[in-house]
Structure 1
């Protein structure tokens, strides 16, 4: 059988160039209007076809699944109630319900991401920001980062942030997990978190697709049977190859695979959570398949907000979690009963919120809101760690397709028919072929380094900035604290701002091992009220110094061939001062000013219900059980003892795989 996608599988740049010429030829009179109408009709047809192909979500009648606290009508009981259907929650629901004797209820505040026609298009995830699929969180003003409130996108849908991220498949450094185990100080179950033992869960969820273009990948270090597809799929811009060669030319080693026991130091394009048809792979699409949703012992309820965990308190006994209260979109309250246990998988922001609303957290803070203290755990909502990203902007003289998308006339209050047609052409091309620029994961290539690597800085021709010695916050002698990222387009305000006219690309520095920690706190006892999110960015001098050194490396890469050949210092004016062609010549103080003005989240909040001994501010033990109560666990990125030296989706999925195994082992036969 001949597929349409095979017939139309022409090189993306050639097709787009042809479409561009066609638009130029048809810029007059009726022909232009006909072309615009045809393109609009084609795009509408594609969207409708996509919409009709969507899998319906499993949204049961809430009156049957839980007791209605308004009417008193009783509902079902479950063995396990999972709060939050995000990156970890979907994994738990799927794995726990593999046992037909275990009744599982998954509660999610959002809806299915698959109802959105853009949900599987890799490059379109910023369209979720500030939408109904986003919690639309902001930090408190950051005293050391321009006194700005920072936007924190958080997925409000099944799949959570796996449905609205850059799909970078990266485990972190092996030493990160050895440090996790070390921080447990010999508690029972601690050794299960070493890289040697934990890596089997990193492999369990993966199904790697080998690529003839990447023959050096050792498939013995890749998973082959898991539900999450990985591979070198997706678009790679011309600038990506130039960045890679420039990094190698200044001394970065080429690394075939970031995800092996060897570690992550080096440069390469990234593995992605994407399938061969160019579609985003999320934990919803991978774990909550139609077959899984048809299981009689699994119930998935969307559009519900959990307000607290309910505990049974018997004299002289440890309180036990027995139910959760939640409300629907109409405000009706329900109670879902759990015979065995409740698992909080609401993420690093909302898991501590639910714990505190349930009376588990810092006693002084809870008492200030008149919340009865069930368990005084100062670590709840504390030790917040996040990766800071600082973006630098450059003109692209190659005028690549994606570089042209940096500027969106609509964000300047203008309508440009030519720009609109170009975007429609990209959409149509993607829908017909599953290929092209819309399959970019935006962060197409990474480079990892140590800020103390004097040899690398010397090869790059950059002396180590002062001070010569700064605190080593890495997890091992061969672990990174710097990540450099090239993107074939540039943006402002998480791609929601109005970027100037022209063709631009971006380079970014990421602080992997921050020494700053922050907090999540309640503003009130209303579960719908805005939280007090304070990452306390750039509070320590260490964090600023590492980012300055990162910028120095970027400056060296920028002037290294062949990347230097695509930088265009001429052209459009730069009244906003966004461009950084002079990055290499800036002083440390000038770079620090840029860092403090541009620091943003790279979407990796962790550690707010961390796995650590109680005396060290821990919230859960090595089995992810919450201290001071029974029948309650946490399973999401909030349990990270310390943030990993890389991207957090992969370790979060592996944590959920391990948690599901531990929970099933704890259920009496």
Structure 2
């Protein structure tokens, strides 16, 4: 491996994902700061990135996706869970389903109550408003001139999605026209990060416009292998690009925004973690931080699959001729089904009367499919018959897992142990959701559109049968977080403080979903971008 040149900037950001793009763009607004952002992946100029429904093509794409797998999970029958993560400019915001959800106000108030001042919902609402342009218009909850465009697609949603929303109301759930407004409770249509028929990723909204500034530099296909220290102060990073080992030095700070897997992995490779484990791998410990890689959280869920009596998206996305027509429509108008996510409708509901806030997220997809074989590029192969899926995930799982590097080789993926359902109450609340979803399917607005329940099937009603189905079909909802937990002190299991500074060292912060003390309700892209916005203010205040 050849050794290349060294360059120096004021701030070096590792990872051009949801949070990293926001940090880079905001810091580079200061003309007196020299900022570099390093991304292990390549360009986001791909149809699988730009076209909204193209995320199906990115799901296993080796040039766009890290394609992680967990270790075998005992509660999933020994199955490994697949974890797609963005390996591309824009990170996972370039390959996700684009659903835009902030989370519940109580989520963030819980962060603040756990010893993180400045992280309550009232503190963070200005950042959420600052990051978005909501096409429905600005109000006390929504932003009107931010980098990320948020679109309401209810009018364009499939007729079956409208039937689901009506059925859920008939089942007793309130309609909610904005899950990111005053309250998250209820059912309705998901907003997505789309601008004029194209995905609006963090790269689209933040990074590409900011790169017009002469003080911001982007390096792609540059995999960071470790953080460089002078004593206990971070002074730069080492990375590999095109067969060469290179360094970028940081005069002021290093900001780690490599995500819930990459950030703890890089910390451990750099000597920040459990000293005995690192020493056993030949890594010299820099700071004792056993909590690095712990507190791993994720949303998990499963689907009920139905055969429909009316056409679904299966007829649009399956046959070659139909796909061609949809593609032509998209090219000519930037509209039609290819301009949407398949997760069109859903909501946040309480699984039982004892809940003080929603504990379940519902998903309605007006298509049914078999999942692609690992290693293939397509996420979905729509069924040949008309079908749809009604899915659920847990908003606030109690199960906690961990991850750790296997060796000192930065190219080797870490071992990932989500420990799904290690907290029995997670499985119990998902078990109870089956009756809830079946009750919605039985309502007048939806029941006539159902030919039959395919999976698990109407005969599966007993606890053992349903538990076996849930264990056999549970998948990640792809929301890993918490592995560099934020908190007031390292002794309490925190990795970073409320200013996002890594405990025990200087000149180093983490800004991404890994800092979450507890997982938020819903999709994590919006909270991750918010963390980047907040981090940029924290950094600028110190600089």
Report TM bin, short chain. over 0.9
Deviation per CA, 1:522-573, whole angstroms, max 9, x where unpaired?
1111111122011011122101101011111001111111111111139xxx
Show structure 2 runs of 5+ residues with no match: 373-377
Match for residue 435 of structure 1 among 332, 335, 351: 335
1:405 Cα deviation after fit: 5.4
Kept in 2: contact 1:341–1:631 (CA 8 A): yes
Most deviating of 334-343 and 495-504: 495-504
* 1:579 Cα offset (Å): 2.9
Residue 321 in structure 1 maps to residue 234 in structure 2: yes
TM-score, reference length from structure 1: 0.78
How far apart are residue 118 of structure 1 and its match? 3.1
Higher helix share: 1
Equivalent in the alignment of 1:233: 153
**Deviation digits for residues 585-625 of structure 1, max 9, x if unmatched?**
61122111111001111110000001013222100000000
Aligned residue in 2 for 1:403 = 314
Measured on the aligned residues, the alpha-carbon RMSD in Å equals: 1.8
Aligned to 1:193: 119
d(CA) in 2 for partners of 1:431, 1:546: 43
Q: Please list the CA deviations of residues 65-85 of structure 1 after superposition, one character each: whole Å capped at 9, or x if unmatched.
A: xxxx945x6443100000001
Aligned residue for 2:375? none
User: 1:492: Cα distance to partner?
Assistant: 3.0
**From 96, 103, 110, the counterpart of 2:27:** 96
Deviating more after overlay: 301-310 vs 87-96: 87-96
Provide the TM-score with structure 2 as the length reference: 0.95
Q: Offset at 1:200?
A: 0.7
Equivalences for residues 120-131 of structure 1 within 5 A = 120-131=50-61
CA contact (8 A) 1:265 1:478 kept: no
Question: Which residue of structure 1 aligns with residue 224 of structure 2?
Answer: 306
State whether residues 263 and 478 of structure 1, in contact with CA within 8 Å, keep that contact through their aligned partners in structure 2.
Answer: no
CA deviations over 1:75-130 (Å, ceiling 9, x no partner): 431000000011111111111100010000000011121x2123221111020122
**Kept after mapping to 2: 8 A contact 1:394/1:580:** no
Q: State whether structure 2 residue 197 is matched by structure 1 residue 278.
A: yes
CA distance, structure 1, for counterparts of residue 457 and residue 335 of structure 2 = 32
The structure whose residues are more often strand, as a share, is: 2
Structure 2: distance between partners of 1:298 and 1:665: 19
1:203 matched to 2:139: no
Q: Does 1:377 align with 2:289?
A: yes
Which stretches of structure 1, 4 residues or longer, exceed 6 Å deviation after superposition?
Answer: none
The aligned counterpart of 1:159 is: 90
Query: 1:41 is matched with which residue?
Result: none
SS of 1:545's equivalent?
helix
Local SS of the residue matching 1:80: strand
* Counterparts of 1:135 and 1:377, CA distance in 2: 26
Which is higher, the Rg of structure 1 or of structure 2? Answer: 1
Residues of 2 paired with 1:642 and 1:610: CA distance? 8
In the TM superposition, what are the counterparts of 1:454-603 in structure 2 within 5 Å? 478-493=356-371, 496=379, 500-569=383-452, 579-582=455-458, 586-603=461-478
- Structure 1: which 5+ runs fail to align? 1-68, 185-189, 212-217, 314-318, 409-418, 455-476, 571-577
State the number of aligned residues: 535
Matched ranges for 1:111-260 at <5 A:
111-113=42-44, 115-131=45-61, 132-184=63-115, 190-210=116-136, 219-233=139-153, 235-260=156-181
Q: CA deviation at 1:425?
A: 1.2
User: Cα distance, 1:329 vs. partner?
Assistant: 2.7
Which residue of 38, 51, 72 corresponds with 1:107? 38
Task: State yes or no: 1:293 paired with 2:211.
Answer: yes
Question: Which residue in 1 is equivalent to 2:534?
Answer: 658
Query: Does the CA-based 8 Å contact 2:264-2:484 persist in structure 1?
Result: yes
